[in-house]
Amino acid sequence: MPLERRRVYYSGRVQGVGFRFTTQHLAQTYEVSGYVRNLADGRVELVAEGETAELQLFLDSIHHAIGDKIHAARTEGLPIGEPELQGFEIRY
């Protein structure tokens, strides 16, 4: 299956509530790589890459686990390539 890379900007009550830790923990159960980080404007940015179905399952699991904190999620596709993503980390 083809790989896909997506960037998601989450807004709502997404900082200071364990959002990044929960996302990193969930990523360990899926074949995805990428990162999650807080932004200065109060949003959280997630960049993840994986097979399309696996990536969607991962993103769905975030909404299932902590969707009550999310007021909006804006998703955009990104090209696969540089920088290469390995593992899943919290960035600061």
Positions annotated as catalytic residues are 20, 38
For residue 67, give the 3-state DSSP assignment. helix
Q: What is the largest CA-CA distance in the chain?
A: 36
Q: Beta strand pairing status for 88-91 and 32-38? A: parallel
- In whole angstroms, give the CA distance from residue 51 to residue 53: 6
